[in-house]
């Protein structure tokens, strides 16, 4: 009985320390991500995103360092769908995925404004 109790204490302590390490790693990752203005995206990155999500409006951009290289995470909206496109500094698309929901609910107004501007530009053509 005593052994089982000691084992349970050690197991719980191990789980707590693993969770603390994971939380710290997640926090470090977010520290590396820097929100940038859409107008500050390098042209080669903006072009790659436009090609990947044609007729989509860029609503948010972040720059992060990965293995010493800049990687841009660009969120776009096409219709009622959101996409996240990761592009390196040379314009190579690293990944593209559909966001199942708008994960930055506080920026909904910005998302709608960007999409409206995109639609307005199309209607002028």
**Residue 100 — very low, low, confident or very high, per pLDDT cuts 50/70/90?**
confident
State which residues form the domain around 21. 1-32
Query: Which of 29-38, 67-76, 110-119: highest mean pLDDT?
Result: 67-76
**CATH code of the domain in which 68 resides:** 3.10.450.40
Other residues' Cβ atoms within 10 Å of the Cβ of residue 82: 22
In total, the chain counts a number of residues equal to 125
Residue 120 pLDDT > 60: no
**16 and 50 assigned to the same domain:** no
**47 and 76 assigned to the same domain:** yes
| Alpha carbons 28 and 85: distance in angstroms, whole number | 21
**24 and 51 assigned to the same domain:** no
**6 and 61 assigned to the same domain:** no
**57 and 115 assigned to the same domain:** yes
Q: How many domains does the chain have?
A: 2
**39 and 89 assigned to the same domain:** yes
| Alpha carbons 32 and 106: distance in angstroms, whole number | 21
39-43, 63-67, 95-99, 105-109 — which is least confidently predicted? 105-109
Q: Whole-prediction pTM value?
A: 0.58
Cβ(53)–Cβ(96) below 8 Å: yes
| Alpha carbons 83 and 77: distance in angstroms, whole number | 6
**42 and 88 assigned to the same domain:** yes
49 burial type by CB count under 10 A (0-12 exposed, 13-18 middle, 19+ buried):
buried
Residue 30 pLDDT > 50: no
**Residue 77 — very low, low, confident or very high, per pLDDT cuts 50/70/90?**
very high
Residue, of 59 and 25, whose pLDDT is higher: 59
């Amino acid at each position: 009985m005593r052994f089982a109790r000691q084992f349970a204490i050690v197991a719980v302590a191990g789980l707590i320390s693993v969770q603390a390490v994971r939380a710290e790693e997640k926090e470090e990752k977010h520290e590396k991500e820097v929100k940038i203005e859409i107008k500050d995206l390098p042209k080669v990155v903006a072009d790659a995103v436009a090609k990947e999500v044609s007729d989509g409006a860029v609503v948010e951009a972040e720059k992060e360092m990965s293995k010493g290289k800049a990687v841009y995470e660009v969120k776009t909206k096409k219709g009622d769908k959101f996409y996240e496109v990761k592009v390196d500094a040379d314009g190579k698309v690293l990944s593209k995925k559909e966001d199942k929901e708008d994960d930055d609910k506080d920026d909904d107004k910005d998302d709608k404004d960007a999409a409206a501007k995109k639609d307005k530009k199309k209607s002028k053509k």
